[in-house]
Amino acid sequence: MKINENVAMLTIGFEGEGSMHPVLVHDGSNLVLIDTGYPRHATQIAEQISQAGFDVKDLTHIILTHQDIDHVGAVLALMEMAGGAVTVANEVEAPYMDGTLTPVKLAAALARRESESPEEQAHIDKYAQRFAEVHFPVGQTVTDGQVLSIAGGIEIVHVPGHTPGHICLFLKKFGIMVIGDAAGVDTDGSLKDFNHMYIQDLELSRVSLEKIKTYPIKGLLGHHSGFTSWA
């Protein structure tokens, strides 16, 4: 879905599992992908990039809002397809992505593993294996308030809560906030808490939600909610 001349929303996923929406931003010199999907989604993302009028080989940056596997799962495959693309993430999240630290949701699952049923233990073991297969180096770390000189400026907005180093990306020229999983979108188009089941720190998440609302937002792009005009 084309949002404007420089921003497109991709739609990936399979029937019965819901959809995810990586974001494509370009400015003539840079082709930026914000978030990916699960490991199996790399080919689908490449096809969507082609449908948007570009080639996955031309990706210059892959920006990750946070460490969860439905956001970073396809990074390794896309890096191989793209060749020279630079991965970008908050300095707080980078150790979880490169394997130095155990991702927070995986750590929580491993902590309860011994008290679970054999079936749930097998599920947790599979979950751990999936994470082990998607470690990747972060080529550029960023911090709160930093602005990337791409497509009129992409501002890094640190919004902890869902994960410690979650970031939103504010596309300054267009007034569009790419929110990842930092917030949900209500039926009236307003921002709300993300699903509490998946928030590491609810209090921090609510502080972050208020921070997002201070920006002059004209549109929201959520990984699970898609695009919402918010003028």
Q: Alpha-carbon distance 173 to 151, whole Å?
A: 7
Specify the pTM. Answer: 0.92
Q: Do the bridges between strand 167-171 and strand 176-180 make them parallel or antiparallel, or are there none, so unpaired?
A: antiparallel
Overall average pLDDT of the 94-111 stretch: 93
Instruction: Break the chain into its structural domains and give their ranges.
Output: 7-229
Interval 7-66: pLDDT, tens: 999 999 865 567 899 999 999 899 999 999 998 899 999 999 999 999 999 999 999 999
What b/e sequence results for 149-175 when a residue is b if at least 16 CB atoms lie within 10 Å of its CB, and e otherwise? ebbeebbbbbbbbbbbbbbbbbbeebe
Contact assessment for residue 154 and residue 32, using Cβ atoms and an 8 Å cutoff: yes
Q: What is the pLDDT of residue 19?
A: 86
173-204 confidence digits (pLDDT tens): 999 999 999 887 877 777 767 666 666 677 88
Q: Tell me which of 3.50.50.60, 3.60.15.10, 3.40.50.2300, 2.60.40.10 is the CATH number of domain 7-229.
A: 3.60.15.10
pLDDT at 90: 98
Please tell me the distance from the alpha carbon of residue 146 to that of residue 167, in angstroms, as a whole number.
11
